[in-house]
C-alpha cells in the first residue's frame, strides 16, 4: 500500500494537490550510512534466547501494569534507570531519560532538548524493550546516535533491531528498521502529534512520526511533498523544509493533522482509481481550527517552502 502524501506544487499549479508518492517510498526511511562501520562489531542479539524471553515477558507485564498506574512498576523503573546509566557512561555531557516501550512500529525515538540556564543538554529517549539488556557495544552506539546523530551508530542500531525482531510483539513477515527523530531545529513533531491526538482524536491515533532526511544545498523545487503517511507502517513523515524559523507551528500542525486523518479514513477505489482524499476526508480536515489561516499562509509563502 502506497502512503498518501501532501504535495505542494509551484505557483503555476494547484497549490494544494494531493498525489500518491513513488513506489520507492513505501517503506520507512532507512537510516543506514553508506560507509561501513569499522570499529564496532556487527549484528548481535541482546542475550541468550531463553534469557531474552524471560526478561521480555517480565517487562511486557510491567508495561501492561504501568499503563494503569501513575508511576512505573519497580522492575520497569529499574530497567529504565539501568539503561540510562549505561548509555550516559558513553556520553561526554548531557543528561538522558529512557522510557522503555513495546511499540510495534517505533524502535527508537529521540527528543533532543537544548541547554537552559545552568542545565546541560537533555535527551528524552524512547526505546523498545529489546534494548533493556543491551551490551556495551549497543549502549555505546545508542549514546553516539542520541548525542551526535552518528551515522555509523545508526547502522549498528539498525542491525541490532533486525537481529531482535522476534521481541517485537505482533510483527508480521515485513519488519523494516525504524529509527525516529522527532526534535527539529525549530519544531518538535512529537509534541505536535501528542497535542493533536488529544485535541482532535481522543488519543486514538496510533502512529509514529519523524522528520524526513536532510537534503543537500538549497535549491528551488517544482514541488515539495510536505507530508506522507505509510498505512502499512503507520508512519508519518514530515519534510524538513517545514523545520525552519519562518514556518509557524500552526502550519506544521495542519500538515501533521492532515496525515493523521489518513488513519481515520480508508482509501477507497472509485472508478478504478484510489481515492486518497474523499469528500468526508476533506470535510474532516476543515475541522482544524486554523484551517483557513493555514491555507492562506501556504499560498503566501509557497515559494519560500519550495526553496530548500
Number of domains in the chain: 2
Q: Which residue has the cell 537510516?
A: 31
Residue 62 has pLDDT above 90, yes or no: no
> What is the pLDDT averaged over residues 8-16?
39
Q: Which of 113, 142, 177 is the last residue of a domain?
A: 177
> What is the pLDDT averaged over residues 142-146?
90
* Bigger pLDDT: 252 vs 128: 252
Range of the structural domain that residue 268 is part of: 4-28+184-306
What is the model's pLDDT at position 217?
A: 76
Q: Are residues 167 and 258 both part of a single domain?
A: no
Residue 2 has pLDDT above 60, yes or no: no
Residue at 82 is within a domain: yes
Looking at residue 205, what DSSP letter applies? -
> What is the pLDDT averaged over residues 60-77?
72
What is the model's pLDDT at position 219?
A: 81
Residue at 79 is within a domain: yes
Give all strands (DSSP E) within 156-272, no chain letters: 179-181, 208-211, 223-230, 235-238, 268-270
Q: How open is the CA angle 244-248-254, to the nearest 5 degrees?
A: 110
Residue at 11 is within a domain: yes
Residue at 39 is within a domain: no
Gap between the Cα atoms of 240 and 14, Å rounded: 22
Backbone angles phi, psi at 297, to 5 degrees: -65, -40
Gap between the Cα atoms of 188 and 213, Å rounded: 15
Q: Checking DSSP bridges between strand 122-128 and strand 179-181, what pairing results, if any?
A: unpaired
Q: Are residues 106 and 147 both part of a single domain?
A: yes
What is the model's pLDDT at position 224?
A: 84
- The residues that bridge with 116 in the sheet, in sequence order, are 119
Q: Are residues 22 and 98 both part of a single domain?
A: no
What contacts 102, CB < 8 A, 6 or more positions away?
Answer: 59, 60, 63, 128, 129, 169
Q: Are residues 68 and 19 both part of a single domain?
A: no
Asked if 129 and 80 touch (Cβ cutoff 8 Å), the reply is no
Residue 279 has pLDDT above 70, yes or no: yes
Residue at 40 is within a domain: no
What is the model's pLDDT at position 296?
A: 96
Q: Are residues 112 and 141 both part of a single domain?
A: yes
Q: Are residues 161 and 139 both part of a single domain?
A: yes
Q: Are residues 202 and 165 both part of a single domain?
A: no
Q: Are residues 124 and 199 both part of a single domain?
A: no
Asked if 157 and 151 touch (Cβ cutoff 8 Å), the reply is no
* Bigger pLDDT: 218 vs 243: 243
pTM above 0.95, yes or no: no
Residue at 59 is within a domain: yes
Give the lowest-confidence range in 47-61, 83-97, 131-145, 211-225: 47-61
Q: Which of 129, 159, 177 is the last residue of a domain?
A: 177
Count Cβ atoms below 10 Å from residue 199 Cβ, excluding itself: 13
Q: Are residues 54 and 173 both part of a single domain?
A: yes
What is the model's pLDDT at position 147?
A: 87
Q: Are residues 230 and 119 both part of a single domain?
A: no
Banded pLDDT at 44 (limits 50, 70, 90): very low
The mean predicted confidence, pLDDT, of the chain is: 77
Gap between the Cα atoms of 247 and 244, Å rounded: 6
Give the lowest-confidence range in 151-155, 243-247, 292-296: 151-155
Looking at residue 238, what DSSP letter applies? E
Gap between the Cα atoms of 177 and 160, Å rounded: 10
Residue at 34 is within a domain: no
In CATH, what number is assigned to the domain containing residue 192?
3.30.2010.10
Residue 223 has pLDDT above 50, yes or no: yes
Q: Are residues 157 and 207 both part of a single domain?
A: no
Q: Which of 150, 177, 204 is the last residue of a domain?
A: 177
Q: Are residues 157 and 197 both part of a single domain?
A: no
Residue 165 has pLDDT above 80, yes or no: no
Q: What is the chain's length?
A: 308
Residue at 221 is within a domain: yes
Amino acid at each position: 500500500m502506497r502512503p498518501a502524501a501532501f504535495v505542494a506544487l509551484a505557483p503555476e499549479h494547484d497549490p494544494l494537490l494531493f498525489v500518491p508518492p513513488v513506489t520507492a517510498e513505501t517503506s520507512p526511511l532507512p537510516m543506514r550510512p553508506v560507509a561501513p562501520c569499522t570499529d564496532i562489531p556487527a549484528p548481535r542479539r541482546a542475550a541468550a534466547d531463553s534469557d531474552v524471553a524471560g526478561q521480555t515477558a517480565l517487562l511486557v507485564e510491567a508495561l501492561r501494569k504501568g499503563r494503569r498506574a501513575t508511576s512505573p512498576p519497580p522492575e520497569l523503573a529499574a530497567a529504565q534507570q539501568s539503561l540510562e546509566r549505561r548509555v550516559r557512561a558513553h556520553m561526554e555531557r548531557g543528561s538522558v531519560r529512557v522510557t522503555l516501550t513495546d511499540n510495534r512500529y517505533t524502535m527508537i525515538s529521540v527528543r533532543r532538548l537544548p541547554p537552559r540556564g545552568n542545565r546541560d543538554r537533555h535527551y528524552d529517549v524512547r526505546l523498545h524493550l529489546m534494548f533493556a539488556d543491551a551490551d556495551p557495544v549497543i549502549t555505546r552506539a545508542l549514546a553516539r546516535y542520541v548525542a551526535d546523530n552518528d551515522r555509523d551508530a545508526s547502522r549498528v542500531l539498525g542491525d541490532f533491531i533486525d537481529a531482535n525482531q522476534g521481541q517485537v510483539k505482533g510483527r508480521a513477515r515485513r519488519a523494516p528498521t525504524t529509527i525516529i527523530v522527532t526534535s527539529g531545529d525549530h519544531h518538535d513533531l512529537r509534541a505536535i502529534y501528542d497535542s493533536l491526538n488529544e485535541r482532535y482524536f481522543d488519543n486514538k491515533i496510533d502512529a509514529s512520526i519523524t522528520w524526513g532526511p536532510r537534503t543537500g544545498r538549497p535549491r528551488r523545487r517544482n514541488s515539495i511533498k510536505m507530508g506522507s503517511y505509510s498505512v502499512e507502517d503507520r508512519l508519518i513523515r514530515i519534510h524538513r523544509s517545514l523545520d525552519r524559523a519562518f514556518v509557524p507551528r500552526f502550519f506544521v500542525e495542519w500538515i501533521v493533522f492532515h496525515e493523521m486523518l489518513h488513519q481515520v479514513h480508508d482509501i477507497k477505489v472509485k472508478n478504478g482509481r484510489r481515492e486518497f482524499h474523499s469528500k468526508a476526508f476533506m470535510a474532516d480536515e476543515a475541522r482544524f481550527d486554523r484551517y483557513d489561516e493555514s491555507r492562506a499562509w501556504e499560498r503566501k509563502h509557497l515559494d519560500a517552502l519550495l526553496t530548500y
